[in-house]
Amino acid sequence: MRIAVLNDDPLVPGTVRGALEHHLRHACHFYSSVGGLLKSARQKTFDLLIADWHLCGAEGIEVMQRMRDVRGQHLPILLAVRRGDELGMVQALRHGVVDFVVHPLRTAELVARTSALLQRAYPEAMAEQLTFGPYRFDPEKRQLFLHDAPLALKNREYELALFLFRNAGRLLSRAHLREVVWGESDEIPSRSLDTHVSRIRTKLQLTKDNGFTITAVYGMGYRLDPPESQ
């Protein structure tokens, strides 16, 4: 999962990385200003926002709403508050904040609350579901079957296909997809993602006959469309 963290405390990145990147293997992207976060959100997709209420300040509610306008109304938000800030917590709850953590951030609590939020928001992506209509993934053999017939996929094609199916119906930015399959390297040729998606579309026979199609959204990324959305 891809998590945006809005916080200007220099100690926070170490705590969050220890909790979410090392323990849960999620990718975290840190922002020290509201402007930087919102600019990035227009081009990238995120699965969760962890925000410091006091950094948002009086505009906190507006910031969270703007994030949801850009990234979707179902974006889960975990708010970091100072102990005893009941007024801030009440305001945030009224505007859709899902959960809270209290400063100073504690690793075990952050892991537990983040896991619970992601599980509720993305049950299919977080589950071990490996069968999607006529498609079945075998993680041990790293093999994908269509109507029980094995498909010949290279390693990154398999990773990309599994990620797309687990996030079916969601628009995933190019940066998000590249990060999942190739990591955060800047040396990836710009057309590599498009080439891999094209191969997957062909090899998996992603047509309405098989229940799934893939859509390219100009300037953003790709979305695997499940049967009910067609």
The whole domain housing 147 covers 126-229
For residue 12, name the pLDDT band (cuts at 50, 70, 90).
Answer: confident
Residue-level pLDDT at 189: 64
d(CA 73, CA 65): 8
Regarding whether 116 and 169 lie in a shared domain, the answer is no
Regarding whether 157 and 225 lie in a shared domain, the answer is yes
Regarding whether 208 and 145 lie in a shared domain, the answer is yes
Q: Which tens digit of pLDDT belongs to each residue from 31-79?
A: 988 888 888 888 888 999 998 877 765 556 677 777 877 766 678 888 8
- Residue 216 sits at the vertex; the CA angle it makes with 225 and 150, to the nearest 5 degrees, is 55
Place of tokens 């969270």: 64
Regarding whether 224 and 140 lie in a shared domain, the answer is yes
Length reported for the chain: 230
CATH number at residue 89: 3.40.50.2300
> Given 86, 121, 156, which residue is the final one in a domain?
121
d(CA 4, CA 188): 22
146 pairs with which residues across the strands? 135, 149
- Judge whether residue 165 has pLDDT over 90: yes
Domain count, the chain: 2
Residue whose C-alpha is closest to residue 224's, from 79, 147, 87, 124:
124
Collapsing DSSP to helix, strand or coil, 175 comes out as helix
> Given 71, 91, 121, which residue is the final one in a domain?
121
Q: Which tens digit of pLDDT belongs to each residue from 101-116?
A: 888 888 888 999 998 8
Regarding whether 114 and 65 lie in a shared domain, the answer is yes
Lowest mean pLDDT among 40-44, 165-169, 182-186: 182-186
> Given 121, 154, 178, which residue is the final one in a domain?
121
For residue 210, name the pLDDT band (cuts at 50, 70, 90).
Answer: very high
Regarding whether 102 and 8 lie in a shared domain, the answer is yes
Regarding whether 133 and 89 lie in a shared domain, the answer is no
C-alpha distances in angstroms, 74 versus 7, 122, 180, 195?
Answer: 22, 10, 21, 30
CATH number at residue 192: 1.10.10.10
Residues 6+ apart with CB under 8 A from 176: 2, 44, 45, 221
